[in-house]
Structure 1
């Protein structure tokens, strides 16, 4: 970073261009501009995703911070547990897993929205491109993950002390030393789900597995769209969504000794519903909004307000019901609710995205599209990687009993969030943003070749 920044700074002072893009790939000057750069009115961007990413990340930190309180000595521990079980209004903490479902939904949407931008015709060309897609994905996300692993293994033991510190670090290092291979292959949410290396990174495994499975859905859809079978594709996605809604429910009701809380198949519905809306909006983005244009402006506003009210109240009810069900011990109730909760939540997300894109988002769209959230969205991946260690480090460093209260939890959350943002900013500049340039340099030629091959296939088909 020092050498690359010095090279970039010299070029800027001498007003000359870089001879090689790799020479400034790690430049702080260049990468900080990329992180802080914002845009307005870009129709290729789903602007509300920036706010959804940032807020979801804040929600995840709040949820994991609350879990942290359960893992260290608290003088009024019983009060904290009773506070959680007796009050429905704390759904804002308990239902934090819905933020992870939101990330899965956005991943599926963006995959479809960008994949179907190119009109794929040849199944063979798409199949041949799969290895490159997989390599691109792995190289895109792994450097930051690898550096997190190395930092936890070789730096974390020297970053603190206390009566719990050494023991917690030994437990963490033992799990990561044993399961490093499944951690870096993104399969630990199945292979060693009961002994995860860096527990919060189960999400990375699930997201990678969804991406690896996506060609099974994407390639047939692309062929169907090429032949003008849009309605057939949408019906097929409806059936896929129904399958992944009820299949996890059936499996868990049938095999009640199943204990994996981090599996992928239970959450695949979020991904496929994202793909469904991504497909629809890519293919029908030129169509007018849902409301009939013959309606008066007053009628459209009223209808829009009614739908928005119903959607937001429905999402609020989902969060409250999550809290109520979570406090129960009824296996069947939990299984059925969790299976139906995810598609219900994604329906709400779909309305937010669709209405906001077409200019009917009102104050919600305005808020979620703020430039500050664009920066937060770019940092969200590194924030997710690092926040778990930030929370764990505070817990491990404690030397006296803590006291539980809502204000103290909020106070700690502010600290977790600010420190996570600062570390994520460095992590993005050092290990995430540079890899975009490096990966583009390595595979740019292959991508151009694939596009040309796809073009020749289209000509041959014509």
Structure 2
């Protein structure tokens, strides 16, 4: 008996959950000899089809009880041409038959989809004697095994490719296939079961560019032209980079690339270097998990083996990739607190809040806006294939009426149909940034009492999260629980009040770093070991605590227990990261610090926002172009990942050079100077041995050179780096 439970991970920036196609599938498929012989009757469906329908009548194409339409008559005429072509041995007619799929071999191993030959079908373009042109139309037909084999088939469907004249609608093909199956195996289907649907059909015809697509091309062309001309001037005309006009420097790919790939190899007490590594690793985790979704939902020839894979511990590493998002929240909260509090001390508690908000919005929105255009208007024209556009992470047609919510960063509350679903993270981060000034004022004015108030807020939100899980009987293990997986996703993952824990822990840790600036905390070796063991215990518990209760496991978990896990893990994960950062900046990081502070992370960290926004476009493009069946294994997914991640980084570089760096540079030129007037350098820290700063001294956590801002090199990676935030916050000193 072969078992199947197909796992689709709505992981990372969407939501992580294990799902199956129904409890019936876990009971498996059992085929006896009679079932198998019946299945073989439709094994070569194209041959059986045309042997039974050498002379198709109009009644065979039109559903019973409906009058023929003009399109039905055209379909009938083209079908007559097809049968005539088969009779006379025309090559184009045989290509239409040859492109069909069949009942796949290896069905007992989970090979449930035969894609046929997509290009052979849609490339058919035959001129008829009447002057019309007959085009091929490729569709995927779903054959219900439950009806075909009785209870042995459970609820599984086998999909196979069919090819018809393009004048025939999905309804015509569905009607014809129903009658073929009835004649071959006596299969009667009810009216609600469709063998062929129009959204699974493709032809070689492409829609003309609409206004949005043209606008996207024009915008990209304008920015591309400006970058090209500025780069040529920079390279061939301007010999001295210092004399390059500021406006041209903003658009110069040469100048922006130099800033992007500039790395710091010397230890810098002014920066928390390990954050580059944390951000880069979190980004890789997100992209890696999304590639597993593509791999699992691909037309695999060994689909049943996914059930076995889903019971391995490695499955939890992929499924719990949602903690990568909590890492982003942690870093964001840390930097907001640490950098802003230092700036407030210099400005005697003042914050230029409107300028903070404006700067943040202008840094994020250009890339978000161009991403909407790329996914919505450009992606449909970048490729084609049997699955292209049918199995994206999102239906990007949703952008038609919801794109503006994304640009306002309230899409997680304003609509259930988000334009780009993975931007829910940006909405939450922006909303937390908006309330940040309140928390900053509280901790600045009341110190530890203010921090205690933030801690109470954190615990209160955790208690609320716990309560709604119990009240609604939500269950990640049970596929969503009372409200279903979609409600679980919306309530627990996409709302700011349920995802703020990581950000608040980072905020409190940033406040802690601010209070100990300039101090070196001495820890004994046993204390360091206890810190690292506790840290690893927290991180590994978050990832593997649900392993005994996963797919195919007999253990059950109550909603109360799962509520404890969900609410506490979102605090435990950033607490573990807090020790990692603390140990690295205090000199207790060892190999972890050496790895996370490697200069190689710095360019990826600067590109991380563009990689995050663009990686799903690459994955949807490469996955949608699939034309043959695939094999699921960890090794094959890793090959897919490095392919997709490499192209995602290349796309991110283009987005950075064309959009992010120029827009950031223009913003620096247009907005008033946000940096305070330069102060005389104080050499006491260098000459007095009593005032040597600690590596953790956040007072020395200065941004990179001020020239970087004019270079347009400020990275708005999720979360924004300290330099970007400092420039926005310090606007109060010049206002």
TM-score interval for Structure 1 and Structure 2 normalised by the shorter chain: 0.7 to 0.9
Q: 2:623 aligns with which of 370, 379, 395?
A: 395
**1:153 Cα shift?**
2.5
Structure 1 residue aligned with 2:426: 204
The answer to whether the aligner puts 1:242 opposite 2:464 as a matched pair is no
Distance in 1, matches of 2:459 and 2:232, equals: 55
Q: RMSD over aligned Cα, in angstroms?
A: 2.6
**Alignment pair present for 1:98 and 2:302:** no
Counterparts of residues 212-361 of structure 1 (less than 5 Å): 212-224=434-446, 230-256=447-473, 257=483, 258-259=487-488, 260=490, 261-291=493-523, 300-324=524-548, 327=551, 330-361=558-589
Match of 2:362 in 1: 139
Matched, 1:179 2:179: no
How far residue 122 of structure 1 moved from its aligned partner, in angstroms, is 8.5
Compute the displacement of 1:171 (Å).
7.0
Q: For the structure 1 residues 189 and 170, does the alpha-carbon distance in structure 2 shift closer, same or farther, using more than 3 Å as the test? A: closer
Counterpart Cα distance in 1 of 2:260 and 2:467: 44
Q: Deviations over 1:377-420 (max 9, x none)?
A: 11111111111111111221112222211111111111121111
SS at match of 1:155: helix
- Shift of residue 336, structure 1, vs aligned partner: 2.4
2:363/2:663 contact within 8 Å kept: yes
Any idea what the Cα deviations from partners look like across 1:279-322, whole Å, max 9, x if unmatched? Answer: 1112212222152xxxxxxxx23331232133123312221114
Counterpart of 2:276 in structure 1 is 50
Please give the alpha-carbon distance, in whole angstroms, between the structure 1 residues aligned to 2:660 and 2:561. 41
Distance in 2 of aligned mates of 1:393 and 1:287 = 51
TM-score, normalising length: structure 1: 0.88
Q: Which residue of 2 aligns with 1:297?
A: none
Gaps of 5+ in 1: 225-229, 292-299, 457-462
Residue 667 of structure 2 is matched in structure 1 by 439
Counterparts of 2:425 and 2:383 in 1: how far apart (Å)?
27
Moved more, 268-277 or 418-427: 418-427
Match of 2:249 in 1: 24
1:38 paired with 2:252, answer no
Residues 674, 731 of structure 2: 8 Å contact kept: no
Change (3 A) 1:373 1:76: same
Checking the alignment, whether the CA contact within 8 Å between 1:88 and 1:324 is kept in structure 2 is: no
Aligned to 1:161: 384
In structure 2, relative to structure 1, the CA distance for the partners of 1:154 and 1:333 (3 Å cut) is same
After superposition, the Cα gap between the structure-2 partners of 1:96 and 1:170, relative to the gap in structure 1 and judged at 3 Å, is closer
* Deviation string, structure 1 residues 84-117 (Cα, Å, up to 9, x no partner): 1x21243221111111110010011011111011
SS at match of 2:343: coil
* TM-score w.r.t. length of structure 2: 0.56
CA contact (8 A) 1:120 1:223 kept: no
Give the Cα separation in 2 of the matches to 1:398 and 1:35: 34
Counterpart-to-counterpart distance in 2, 1:231 and 1:416: 47
| TM-superposition CA deviations, 1:196-248 (whole Å, max 9, x none) | 22222221112111111222211222223xxxxx3323323322322232222
Asked whether the 8 Å contact 2:392–2:620 carries over to 1, the reply is no
- CA contact under 8 A between 2:509 and 2:578: conserved in structure 1? yes
Secondary structure, aligned partner of 1:44: coil
The offset of 1:123, in angstroms, is 9.8
* Aligned partner of 1:67 among 283, 293, 296: 293
- State the match for 1:294 in structure 2: none
Aligned-pair CA distance for 1:178? 1.9
Contact kept in structure 1, 2:337 and 2:511, CA below 8 Å? yes
Shift of 1:339: 0.8
Which of 415, 424, 441 is the equivalent residue of 1:192? 415
SS at match of 1:285: coil
Which of 1 and 2 has greater Rg? 2
Are 1:95 and 1:323, in contact at CA under 8 Å, matched by a contact in 2? no
In structure 1, what is the Cα distance between the partners aligned to 2:521 and 2:734?
A: 32
Greater percentage in helix: 1
Matching residue within 568, 587, 596 for 1:368: 596
Shift of 1:120: 4.8
Measure, in 1, the Cα distance between the counterparts of 2:467 and 2:522.
35
CA distance in 1, matches of 2:471, 2:572: 23
Deviation of 1:124 after TM superposition, in Å, equals 9.3
Identify the structure with bigger relative contact order (alpha carbons < 8 Å, sequence gap 6+): 1
Determine helix, strand or coil for the equivalent of 1:286: coil
> CA–CA distance in 2 between the matches of 1:179 and 1:48?
38
3-state SS of 1:367 partner = helix
- SS of alignment partner, residue 276 of structure 2: helix
